[in-house]
Amino acid sequence: MHNPFEPELLIEERDAIRVVTLNRPEALNATNEPLHIALQSVWRHLAADGDARAVVLTGAGRAFSAGGDFAHFVELWDDRPRRRREIEGARRLLTEMVDFPLPVVAAVNGPAVGLGCNLAVLSDVVLIAESAYMADPHVSVGLTAADGGAPTWPLLMSMLRAKEYLLTSERIPAEQAVALGLANRVVPDADLLDQALAVAQRIAKLPPQAVQSTKRALNMHIKRAVAGVLEYALSEEYDSFETPEHQALVNRFLARSAARAAEVKSS
């Protein structure tokens, strides 16, 4: 099947399984505008593949996804129409994943941060490598956690734990992610993709109508729970891009990154 999402997303056919790989390894698979758009559109593309029965979602290189690309944030500060499209895209991405009929197995091969973490937990089965971690740092960079954990985490863990991790932006190691309900189990790094494929293959062999209708029934809980929360949170995230706190934090991060790159280049 033709892949219109390259190079941002790779799609590999393995019998009835489609392996979708976020492919910006040099940026730890952070979501710039092209990758964000690809992630919104890939689900309908896969749903139209009559031979597909399950999907494995993973990242190229050493990260699953580092979340939003900070350089892209700067582009959104003064371009309100572009920022509105970004926010609408965030809504569409969540909706497309929840409505996607095929089962998705996330193989979290490294850090799953912000939007990256939400991509994982919107999947149907989540395997996480021993060395990986999850985090939603929206608040720590001055943004509302709209396309991160605010809509979904309270469905997976207690409200108190969701508040703790979202308000502090603390990293969640692999074992703790399983204990909280953000992942199904921890897997040795070297075995992650094989085990994710094995889970996907096991589900793919089951009657597809039963699998897909059961997933749809389960995801009705998510759709009902996130509807009002998502609208409010996305509106607030749109506004938070203009706050001086957010812009100062991003500028400091970019300055540190530039300084480190200059040191590496001169050494």
The span from the CA of 252 to the CA of 242, in Å, is 16
Q: For residue 149, how many other CB atoms are within 10 A of its CB?
A: 26
What would the CATH number be for the domain defined by 9-193+207-266? 3.90.226.10
Q: Which two tokens stand for residue 18?
A: 């489609």
Q: Which two tokens stand for residue 135?
A: 């985090």
Helix (H) or strand (E) holding 105: strand 104-108
User: Model's pTM, two decimal places?
Assistant: 0.94
Tens of pLDDT along the chain (267 residues) come to 689 999 999 999 999 999 999 999 999 999 999 999 999 999 999 999 999 999 999 999 999 999 888 888 999 999 999 999 999 999 999 999 999 999 999 999 999 999 999 999 999 999 999 999 999 999 999 999 998 799 999 999 999 999 999 999 999 999 999 999 999 999 999 999 999 999 999 999 999 999 999 999 999 999 999 988 999 999 999 999 999 999 999 999 899 988 887 777 776
The span from the CA of 194 to the CA of 180, in Å, is 24
Distances (CA, A) of 158 to 82, 134, 150, 161, 230: 35, 17, 12, 5, 18
The span from the CA of 159 to the CA of 162, in Å, is 5
Residue (of 159, 123, 158, 119) closest to 136 by Cα position: 119
Domain residue limits, the chain: 9-193+207-266
Peptide bond into 103 cis (omega under 30): no
Contact residues for 241 (Cβ-Cβ < 8 A; gap 6+): 73, 76, 77, 83, 143
SS3 133: strand
